[in-house]
Amino acid sequence: MTAVLLAVVILLWTSPAALVLLAVVAAGFLLGTVRGAQGTWQAAVYRLVLLPRIGPTTEREDPRPPRFAQAVGLVITGAGVVLGLLGVAGAVPAAAALALVAAVLNAAFGLCLGCELYLLLRRVAPAR
């Protein structure tokens, strides 16, 4: 669903509606950053619509990589919102396009770029 919203932002280009919609997407990333992926509106839709049909899951993943990925999305879309508010032409669709690439890779191929970045940073960070 995030990919659809980001695609609409790109189609709206530099209109005020694009800025508002990108702010909504950024707010979703803020929720995911603060509460974790399970605290997003997408997780609520999953719990209400899909989970009753497929049943509970037994596998759990480490919440840190998806939370980091949400933060990366927040930085990208948040920068687009701030720059859009400052009148920087093209910032809103450019930020939406960057986030859309990551969203499509995640939706189509299960490749979470933010999660991979988190794991890469963990590998290169000095041990504590």
pTM: 0.93
Domain count, the chain: 1
123: pLDDT strictly greater than 80:
yes
Could you tell me the CA-to-CA distances from 29 to 18, 36, 58, 70, 102 in Å, in that order? 17, 9, 26, 5, 13
On whether the CB atoms of residues 42 and 12 are closer than 8 A, the answer is: no
| CB neighbour list of residue 3: distance below 8 Å, 6 or more residues apart | 100, 103, 104, 107
Q: Which amino acid is at 102?
A: A
66-81 confidence digits (pLDDT tens): 999 999 999 999 999 9
117 band by pLDDT with thresholds 50, 70 and 90: very high
Average pLDDT over residues 23-45: 96
**Which domain range does residue 39 map to?**
2-124
